[in-house]
Amino acid sequence: MANGTAVVTGASSGIGAATARRLAAEGYDVVAAARRRDRLDELAASAPNITAVTLDVTDPESVAALAASLDDVAVLVNNAGGAIGVEPIERADPADWQAMFDTNVLGVLRVTQALLPALENGAGGHVVVTGSIAGHLVYEGGAGYTAAKHGAAALVETLRLELNGRPVRVSEVAPGMVHTEEFSLVRLRGDRAAAAKVYAGVEHPLTADDIADTIAFVVTRPAHVNIDLLVVKPLAQAAPHKVARG
């Protein structure tokens, strides 16, 4: 396809799945990568130019296998990640923090490192990281996630410095409140009532498609235009803890 190959991690649901669909509609050959193969197969069946690839960003062998199958990559969307738990620091479980760092920070490191040669091939490439407003400010009960997303933001900024002069753009898209099927459910350990409460009374939280739209905008600018950081929140959200509810 005209736009080349776009790899999207964490593509089995939410922002990742929406981004895979949107980039396919934009004319990319999309490699939709995630752990859950059944969901990926469904996604791949929705468009002729989406290919499902099983990927665990915490497993170096899985990442190496992905890289071995790709010579030329135009866009890498490092989207795999998420939050686990809302406990204050004094009660937080280090295992949760470890899991969040492993996906949100080390996952980005592993996949970006592995795909950089392919991103530098051809017309050049673009590394996009799905960050968060949590990567740019903090809130009570969010420390494990905010620390991980701050780590991802630091990785993005450093990578841009280190790649200066090479044909690879580096961008972060940092969403605020996005109502997806799984983000809050995973964070709140499967408690559906608590997850629903996160969005209760908020007239229009962002949707996964809103963020896919933003990512599509970022990657479809001319090759010399690097959008460093786009922070995107719903109108109802002025800050993580300042949300208008009806």
Min dist CB 240 to ligand 8X3, Å, is: 4
SS (H, E, C) 114-179: HHHHHHHCCCCEEEEEECCHHHCCCCCCCHHHHHHHHHHHHHHHHHHHHCCCCCEEEEEEEECCEC
Stretch that binds ligand 8X3, among 18-26, 52-60, 101-109, 173-181 (CB under 6 A): 173-181
Among 7, 34, 74, 134, binds ligand 8X3 (CB under 6 A): 134
Catalytic (active site) residue 28: no
State which residue, 125 or 142, has the beta carbon closest to ligand 8X3.
142
Answer whether 142's CB lies under 8 Å from 149's CB. no
176 interacts with ligand 8X3 by CB under 6 A: yes
Q: Give ∠ CA 205-32-166 in degrees, rounded to 5.
A: 95
Stretch that binds ligand 8X3, among 10-18, 96-104, 170-178, 189-197 (CB under 6 A): 170-178
Min dist CB 241 to ligand 8X3, Å, is: 9
Stretch that binds ligand 8X3, among 13-21, 30-38, 165-173, 174-182 (CB under 6 A): 174-182
Cα separation of 72 and 124, whole Å?
9
State which residue, 5 or 237, has the beta carbon closest to ligand 8X3.
237
- Which of 8, 18, 140, 20 has the alpha carbon at shortest distance from 81? 8
Min dist CB 148 to ligand 8X3, Å, is: 10
Stretch that binds ligand 8X3, among 39-47, 130-138, 207-215, 221-229 (CB under 6 A): 130-138
Helix, strand counts (H, E) of the chain: 9, 9
Q: Is 185 exposed, middle or buried (0-12, 13-18, 19+ CB in 10 A)?
A: middle
132 interacts with ligand 8X3 by CB under 6 A: yes
Report how many residues bind ligand 8X3 under the rule CB under 6 A: 8
Cα separation of 54 and 57, whole Å?
10
Min dist CB 95 to ligand 8X3, Å, is: 20
Among 4, 16, 151, 240, binds ligand 8X3 (CB under 6 A): 240
Give the CB-side neighbour count of residue 238, counting CA atoms within 13 A.
4
Q: What SS3 class is residue 8?
A: strand
- Interface residues toward ligand 8X3, by CB under 6 A: 132-134, 142, 175-177, 240
